């Protein structure tokens, strides 16, 4: 998990050196106003019959929050039977935040099980927020629920309750920052009225 820092660069590399290897690369990140985070990964399928799954999810909030995700996967000619998939999703929580996502596959053999990638960046879902608020859930709590839901599938993969709780607490602290800023400005409704 990556939280905070004015400039953060993370560059994990993985190389398969033995057949039938498996890799699950999972990361959560959260960028606040003025922060720049870069995640540049490289997965090298150099031997046959290996499997990799790369899943990165990020949330951004505040003016100048910027994330860059570059996922490079190389399937070498000798890596027949490879099965790989990479996914990057970003949730933009406020105006002024930007997420760039570049998934790359380089495939040197046609004899693979599968290779794919996906990338999506979306704004905070106003319909979800409206639905929760119409059920009597206060706005700050509704925003927290949506973000928790966004990250939940990755957090549950950890399987260690103490670590899962620490991650949820860290995400909660990041959300608390945005809620205090919104409260100072009069809430989301006040910001929307000012934009109109």
> What is the tens place of the pLDDT at every residue in 61-95?
999 999 999 999 999 999 999 999 999 999 998 89
- Tally of structural domains, the chain: 1
Report the 3 state secondary structure along the chain: CEECCCEEEECCEEEECCCCCEEEEEEEEEECCCCEEEEEEEEEECCCCCEEEEEEEEEECCCCCEEEEEEEEEECCCCCCCEEEEEEEEEECCCCCEEEEEEEEEECCCCCCEEEEEEEEEECCHHHHHHHHHCCCCHHHHHHHHHHHHHHHHHHCCCCHHHHHHHHHHHHHHHHHHHHHHHHCCHHHHHHHHHC
pLDDT of residue 173: 86
High-pLDDT (> 90) share of the chain, %: 68
Residue 196 counted as domain residue: no
Residue 10 counted as domain residue: yes
Residue 194 counted as domain residue: no
Q: How far apart are CA 187 and CA 131, in angstroms?
A: 17
Residue 195 counted as domain residue: no
pLDDT of residue 129: 86
Residue 42 counted as domain residue: yes
- Judged against a pLDDT cut of 50, whether residue 194 lies above it is answered with no
Residue 14 counted as domain residue: yes
- Judged against a pLDDT cut of 60, whether residue 182 lies above it is answered with no
pLDDT of residue 31: 94
Residue 111 counted as domain residue: yes
Q: Which domain does 82 fall in, by range? A: 2-187
pLDDT of residue 180: 62
Task: Kindly report the pTM of this predicted structure.
Answer: 0.86
Instruction: Label residue 183 by pLDDT band (50, 70, 90).
Output: low
């Amino acid at each position: 998990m990556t939280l905070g820092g004015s400039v953060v660069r993370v560059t994990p590399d993985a190389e398969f050196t033995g057949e039938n290897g498996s890799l699950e690369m999972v990361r959560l990140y959260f960028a606040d106003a003025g922060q720049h985070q870069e995640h540049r990964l490289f997965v090298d399928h150099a031997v046959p019959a290996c499997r990799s799954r790369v899943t990165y999810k990020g949330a951004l909030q505040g003016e100048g929050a910027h994330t860059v995700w570059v996922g490079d996967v190389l399937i070498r000619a000798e890596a027949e039977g490879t099965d790989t998939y990479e996914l990057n999703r970003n949730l933009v929580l406020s105006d002024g935040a930007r997420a760039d996502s570049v998934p790359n596959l380089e495939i040197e053999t046609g004899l693979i099980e599968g290779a794919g990638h996906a990338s999506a960046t979306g704004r905070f879902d106003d319909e979800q927020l409206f639905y929760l608020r119409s059920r009597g859930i206060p706005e700050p709590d509704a925003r927290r629920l949506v973000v928790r839901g966004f990250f939940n599938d990755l957090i549950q993969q950890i399987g260690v309750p103490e670590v899962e709780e620490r991650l949820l607490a860290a995400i909660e602290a990041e959300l608390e920052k945005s809620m205090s800023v919104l409260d100072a400005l009069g809430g989301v409704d006040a910001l929307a009225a000012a934009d109109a």
